[in-house]
Structure 1
Amino acid sequence: MVVQQNKLDSQVAANAIATYLKAYLETGYFMGTVLVAREGEVLLSNGYGLANLEHNIAHTPQTKFRLGSITKQFTATAILQLQEQGLLQVDAPISTYLPNYPNGEQITVHHLLNHTAGIPSYTSFPDYPQKWRTVMSVDELIAWFSDKPLEFTPGDRHNYSNSGYAVLTKIIETVSSQSYADYLQHHIFQPLEMTNSGYDIYEKILPNRASGYTFFGDYYQNAAFLEMSIPSGAGGLYSTVEDLYKWEQSLYTDAILSEPSRNAMFAPTAVINPDADQKAYYGYGWIINTYYERDRLFHSGGINGFRTIISRYPKDQIVVIVLSNVETASSDRIANDIAAILFEKPYELPKQRHTIEVDSALYEAYAGNYELVPGVILSITTESGHIFAQLTGQERYEIFPESPTEFFWKVVEAQLTFVVDGNDKATSAILHQNGQDMTALRVDS
């Protein structure tokens, strides 16, 4: 065990985190619950804002949230448990368990777990939003994507795929002879006394369930409906910060998984972006990287109306859990800034953005195309005295000035700074989002 030296006093840390979260709440971009613990001591476990705006119900640590892709670590755990039980092998081809799956002899369970199978992700399909209200069995969900060609040879590279975790769901049900929901209840949630966790079914009466919202900078709106059979084992669970803390603490023990299985889950087996300066890797349902010069294990989640993250620093025995019922919340930034507080690193308090009046003729100097990364263009356009930004593959949204060169989105918590030359023409733009700054160079004349 590595003991953190000269660590920030617990009460001082809790007060600083509470101040930060209250400031975030005031921006409108965050409501939810947060739990922060260090060395087995819960420093903070509180609710912020409302679980239901229409009935004015406040968040508490017992509020239940849809988890989105945090679900994947539970799916991975079920697979590893079944391997411990001798019912499957992660290095076996999936044709062993699903003999009719196309190309199943080329794809292993391991490929599904770390997103190296090459199966296209159904959540990226053009017709995905049209399916949001469609009830699907696991077999129907798999039939949606299984006949599509692989994007690359299995094992060649990493490409995040919700489809792979839907296939894992089917494997769990096939080899265990239980439904996915029942298997997790009997083998994970009940042993850990996670009584406020399970598979989310819309029709079921679920006490303390949060409603999901989208924030547009000036107002909230109910999030788009999503039939919860669609996320499957890629994103269909609900939980609370208190239950997730029980789960996180179990990962230091053999309560749910043996040490060899935990080591396999946290092994950095697939590099996510080989060209990135700061490398991150995918294990089995977890992302592994270094943050603030410390080893970190984390995973975030995003599903209609919700943003979530669980972020662990095992050597410091620190965990930050953020569950938000605001679809546009930056749960990653919140978790990172809370870690900055604990590690006494620089961070900025969130602030409300205010539009100022500027001469719209200034916008013409900014109009053009800016390359964020190869293949991703930030297109700036003007129309009727307004200025808009659009990223490759995304919708166009208006941005609003808070200074002559600084702008912000209302539909998402992000800002844009234009860098101008001596002739007041923009040469680059800096995107500020999730606590990171990305420079995009102008690629037109």
Structure 2
Amino acid sequence: MGMGMSTVAALQTYLRSWNAAGCLHGVAAVGLANGERVVVAGGMADPGLAVANEPDTVFRIGSLSKSFTAAAVLQQVAQGRLELSDSLERFFPDFPNAAGISLHQLLNHSAGTANFTSAAEYWPTRMRLAHRPQELLDWAHALPPACPPGIAHAYSNTGYLLLAAIVERVADQDFSSYRQQYLFRPLGLERTFVDDGRVILPQAARGLHPGAPWRYAEPMDMSVAWGVYDLASSAGDLCRWLEALQRGEALPARLAALMLDVGALEYAYGFYGEDWTLAGRRLRLAQHFGDVNGFFSFMSVLPGGGGVVVLANAFGSPVERLGLDLARIASGEGVEALPTPGREQPDEQLFVPGRYENGEGAWLELFYNEHGCYARSPRRYGEPIAYPLTVEAQTPQLARSAVLPETLLIEAGTLQWCDAEGETRRLRRQ
């Protein structure tokens, strides 16, 4: 068995352990530098229809869409229609601080624009309403800037909304068809789509929220995501996208480097830099996390070529942790497989129902219903999810989640909680 085969086997074995543990709610893919690819699916695309996730299932990818918007801008730079130093004033002279904002600052989140998805009205009303692009721009225009241009990196969906509108203007083409014509089709991304919420996407997953019971995620009108977080794709297509950027297929190499070269940068164009230690080497890699109601997504380039992609249709899925584990395996490290959950219910005398806290804001609640013992704890944005717990007969003090790679250990009256991202806390019952 060659080195590539052993790496492929290790990746497949590890991902199968996530499936056996009930913790893979989507599709994970690894593209290796030698061209080999591993794709494993788990969980349900739509439990209401009893449809399982398959390797080519299509997921909403949230802000991973920004890399395509950045590439579209850079294509216009390559054709001489735009300069990175161009002022926003050239296109939107009335926008707050337009004269002091460059395309470069919009691309790397240093323009200081308000983030429209952080506005108070976004979650309760705006995300459920149909918007034309001009209506989104008018709304963003009315929001007060987060800070003056150029003084800080502040993640902003508004910046990419403006960039999409600028490409549309200079290319004289609507942004949806532009991406299809100049990005998806030339690169063979046959399972990547602009999702306006109305077009029927083939084999598309539905966003889910784990709980007791599970439910569909909060509805939204995808027109509010135009140009910013409005794409749906498969894990294989996104591996192909990372490869195309690294090989200079989507852009000239000097411009692709502005997206992927994160050596000294917090934000590049459509990516951010994150420090990972792989095979004993500390490396800064181009990555991005995305989420949109019920979907979590993550992609990262790998050192030496290739990439890792994790797409989940369950809120709270630890997509970054799984991405890191897969990158470690691809780099030759051994990573311990997830154990399968136990078959018995926790003892209510050991796992006493109630709220447990650590005094620093972390909390977890244990409760019981007709289906067994559950834990409830907060995830991103403080949004809680609930998940069942099981134990093995020989270790009744150690409970495992049957949905997430988490453990709860009762020790001397405290609850030691190792969460899905690998962080351990000690909690006491209140």
Give the TM-score taking structure 2 as reference length: 0.82
Please list the CA deviations of residues 122-169 of structure 1 after superposition, one character each: whole Å capped at 9, or x if unmatched.
Answer: 222332222232001122122223222222222212122222211211
Q: Does 1:322 align with 2:310?
A: yes
Q: Which runs of 5+ in 2 are unaligned?
A: 369-373
The answer for the alignment partner of 1:340 in structure 2 is 328
Per-residue deviation at 1:215?
2.1
Q: Structure 2 matches for 1:2-401, cutoff 5 A?
A: 9-130=3-124, 131-216=126-211, 219-268=213-262, 281-291=266-276, 292=278, 293=281, 294-315=283-304, 317-351=305-339, 356-357=346-347, 359=349, 367=357, 369-370=359-360, 377-378=361-362, 394-395=382-383
Please give the secondary structure, in 2, of the residue aligned with 1:76.
Answer: helix
Q: Which moved more, 1:352-361 or 1:76-85?
A: 352-361
Aligned partners of 1:416, 1:214: CA distance in 2, in Å?
21
Aligned partners of 2:23, 2:128: CA distance in 1, in Å?
26
Q: Which moved more, 1:386-395 or 1:82-91?
A: 386-395
Contact 1:71 1:236 in 2 (8 A): yes
- Matched AA of 1:249: E
Contact 2:7 2:329 in 1 (8 A): yes
Q: Which moved more, 1:222-231 or 1:31-40?
A: 31-40
Aligned partners of 1:169, 1:10: CA distance in 2, in Å?
40
Alignment size in residue pairs:
413
Per-residue deviation at 1:440?
8.7
Per-residue deviation at 1:284?
0.5
Structure 2 vs 1, CA of residues 268 and 417 (structure 1 numbering), >3 Å: closer, same or farther? farther
Please list the CA deviations of residues 85-108 of structure 1 after superposition, one character each: whole Å capped at 9, or x if unmatched.
Answer: 121222222111112212111222
Aligned partners of 2:306, 2:33: CA distance in 1, in Å?
6
Please give the secondary structure, in 2, of the residue aligned with 1:339.
Answer: helix
Per-residue deviation at 1:367?
4.4
Per-residue deviation at 1:186?
1.4
Per-residue deviation at 1:82?
0.9
Please give the secondary structure, in 2, of the residue aligned with 1:61.
Answer: coil
Q: Which runs of 5+ in 1 are unaligned?
A: 1-6, 272-280, 371-376
Q: Does 1:437 align with 2:427?
A: no
Contact 2:243 2:306 in 1 (8 A): no
Please give the secondary structure, in 2, of the residue aligned with 1:229.
Answer: helix
Name the % identity: 26
- Matched AA of 1:63: T
Per-residue deviation at 1:74?
0.4
What RMSD over aligned residues (CA atoms) do the two structures have, in Å? 3.6
Per-residue deviation at 1:70?
0.9
Aligned partners of 1:340, 1:95: CA distance in 2, in Å?
45
